[in-house]
Amino acid sequence: MNFRWLNALLWGNSVALAWMWGLGLFFSVQMTFMFGLQGLILFSVPNALGLMLFGFLTQLVARSHSGGQESLAIFFEKFAKPFRLIFYLYQLLALTLTVFALVRYLFVPLQLTAGPLFALSLCLIVFVILAAGCLFGEEFGIQKIKLSHTLLGLLLLGCVGLILCGLKPFLPAAFTWTAPFPGAWTGPSFWGYAIPLVVGLLVGPWLDLQHWQRAIQIHRENTSIRLSYFFGGSIFFLLLLFHGCLAWWVMGKAGAPLAAPAARDGFQYVHDLVTRYFIQNYDAAGPWMPMAYFSFLSICVLTTLDSGYIALKWFLGKNVEKSQNMLVSLLPKQLVGSPIPSFMIVGIVTLGGIWARLELEYFMVAYASFFVGYAALAIARCFVPNSQQALPQIRMFSMASMSIVIFAFGYLNKQTPLLLLGSLLPLGYVGWLVFNADLLRVVTEKAGEVMEAAAEIPAIRAMTRTAAVVSGAEVTAPMHDHALAGHFEGKWFVYSMIATYADTNSVGNVYFGMYPLYVGKTRELFFNATMPDFDLKTTKFYILTRSFEHKFIREAREFETITVKIRIGEYNRKFCTLEHQIFNSDHALLGKGKQGLLFVSARDYSLLDIPPEVYTSFISYA
């Protein structure tokens, strides 16, 4: 029990360090400058609560699904499928924002990129930062990252201790609840920041691959996700509080924000406030204090980059392995599944942002508007019964794009109502989507239950049987050569047969074991129709059954026409799933289910990817 508690603490430290990306690292300074202590608390509390809630709720998800220690991994594999692009974009933007923030607010003020070789120096600095993230990510996988982060966390603690020892006093007398420089910030109002921050920070972790990978690994280690993220949220809160109070101390000592030039949009940004203060007072503060602060920033960024590298490697590798996209198949798997190309994109966007003199807020706007709807829908799909219904991709993207434009327009024009609308509109739309989908599901299920109950009433059963005969809807096996081998109805392959005495048991209904035989016979005829040239003597592969599921709904009796419908349900690089439905003479559903297929070598029975001839034959029916 003590070991599990210690393991949760180590994971909590890793959670906190991985979440100290550019947003949390530098924006605490800006919020303190704009709104004082209330701004720092407004930013820190939802940030920490967002982490804690993610751990609490994912623990519920893990416990509510079967699979033991792999339950969360199994759930995420299916849950993440419609969000794959959003997960990738979220992670890519988070890494870009982090690298951009470190270069923009540390190395640019240090003037390491100044002079005639500005472009070259800037490229080299970005390259070194990304290379360090790749190196640590390759060296420490998800199983060992909590150990490397423990060492880095101790170094971080040492840096914080050195800085605190040098601050005399740490909290100046001017520490008040409101902005320290009234009128210095001419941007959006307090509420224009408050609501979007609360919304974005509470739902933010749900689209972060780093947190999903950590939660899955924590559950695999039989450790409490809830406790780990409680520790993580608490440590993260203290780090934000430290950085914000440090900024306040600097403002009380030197009034540094007033010396910051206005940006292109006319607003005053002071993310580099502490950096500029230590540069200007390097000798007075003592060399160890500035170096401790610069090391503090570097460690926070490094622990985000290595976590992002590991998460991207895990996510891309899993999706490339299962992808059937023809473009993906033309490229080497090692290249497509590697985070290196993504890190190159991060470097290019970072350099472009520095050249364009962008600010951190221009990247952050996506997290307060564009990703809000996707994150809210992701949370809903974890807990509502219809969580695996098709995701309305076009509608969600349209709503997300509209919300980010509204939010950006409101920010640049200091219109608080537009900021609130851009952040809350996606939440309202997701609520409407979930409510309507859930309502439709309930109505459909209840209608199905009513119809099944009504079908058991003898009078209604007689009327429906008579109506079927009169209308000619009764299923009968077509009397021509093609029907003897089955036929296609759209994507479904259909085969009919008549149940006889040999198919029944002592009670007189069709024996339950006959239904898998009916499905098996239909499956063989389906294979024969789609792959007529298949020869068992010369084939290089065999098709084996991996799993079989069937749900019995009604019973059939002797001389009833049994119609089996079968089709391709889903497939990936190695496995294929067939779905089936069985009907009686009255078109009533007798049962339904699915089966998994795998493909092995005819020579040594080793597992194969789906053979090209099978893929070519099946693809038109998928």
Q: What is the CATH number of the domain that holds 604?
A: 3.10.129.10
Shared domain check, 480 and 348: no
pLDDT band (50, 70, 90) for residue 2: low
Last residue in a domain, options 357, 372, 392: 357
Q: Which structural domain range is residue 289 located in?
A: 2-357
Identify residue 34 by its one-letter amino acid code: M
Residue type, 146: K
β 541-552/589-601 pair status: antiparallel
Answer whether residue 415 is part of any domain.
no
Mean pLDDT of 209-217: 95
Q: Of 357, 386, 421, which marks where a domain is finished?
A: 357
Q: What is the 3-state secondary structure (H, E, C) of 273-341?
A: HHHHHHHHCHHHHCCHHHHHHHHHHHHHHHHHHHHHHHHHHHHHHHHHHHCCCHHHHHCCHHHHCCCHH
Burial of residue 578 (CB within 10 Å: 0-12, 13-18, 19+) is buried
- Band the pLDDT of 69: cuts 50, 70, 90: confident
Residue 19 lies in a domain: yes
Task: Give per-residue pLDDT as tens, 515-568.
Answer: 999 999 999 999 888 888 888 888 888 899 999 999 999 889 888 899 999 998
The band of 469, judged by pLDDT with boundaries at 50, 70 and 90, is very low
Residue 381 has pLDDT above 90, yes or no: no
Ranking 43-57, 135-149, 274-288, 428-442 by mean pLDDT, the lowest is 428-442
In this structure, is residue 25 part of a structural domain?
Answer: yes
Cα(395)–Cα(402) distance, integer angstroms: 11
pLDDT (0 to 100) of residue 12: 94
The answer to whether residue 406 sits within a structural domain is no
Kindly write down the DSSP assignment for every residue of 168-229, as one continuous string.
SSSS-TT--SS-SSTTS--SS-HHHHHHHHHHHHHHGGGG-HHHHHHHHHHHHTT--HHHHH
Total-model pTM: 0.70
Report pLDDT for 463. Answer: 43
For residue 182, what pLDDT band results from cuts at 50, 70 and 90?
confident
Q: How many CB atoms lie within 10 A of CB 461?
A: 14
**To the nearest whole number, what is the mean pLDDT of the chain?**
84
Residue 462, pLDDT > 50, answer no
In a domain, 447, yes or no: no
Domain boundary among 332, 357, 382: 357
> Beta-carbon neighbour count of residue 412 at 10 Å?
15
Structure tokens at 221: 């280690």
Token code pair at residue 557: 């009796």
Q: Decide if 456 is inside a domain.
A: no
Residues 6+ apart with CB under 8 A from 135: none
Q: What residues pair up with 495 in beta bridges, in sequence order?
A: 564
In three-state secondary structure terms, 508 is coil
- Does the pLDDT value for residue 340 go beyond 60? yes
For 284-336, write each residue's pLDDT tens digit.
666 788 899 999 999 999 999 999 999 999 999 887 776 656 566 666 777 77
377 within some domain? no
Least confident of 265-274, 291-300, 464-473, 607-616: 464-473
Return the pLDDT at 285: 61
Structure-token pair, residue 419: 């900021």
Separation of alpha carbons 521 and 526, rounded Å: 9
pLDDT value, residue 287: 76
When divided into structural domains, the chain yields a total of: 2
On the question of pLDDT at 425 being above 60, the answer is: yes
Quick one: DSSP state of residue 107? I
Q: How much of the chain, in percent, has pLDDT values that exceed 70?
A: 85
* Range in 398-402, 447-451, 481-485 with the lowest mean pLDDT: 447-451
Is residue 472 very low, low, confident or very high in pLDDT (cuts 50, 70, 90)? Answer: very low
Amino acid at 205: P
pLDDT of residue 114: 62
For residue 390, is it within any domain? no
Confidence class of residue 80 from pLDDT cuts 50, 70 and 90?
confident
Here the CATH number for the domain that contains residue 196 is 1.20.1740
pLDDT attached to residue 327: 60
Would you state the pLDDT for residue 437? Answer: 57
| pLDDT computed for residue 267 by the predictor | 87
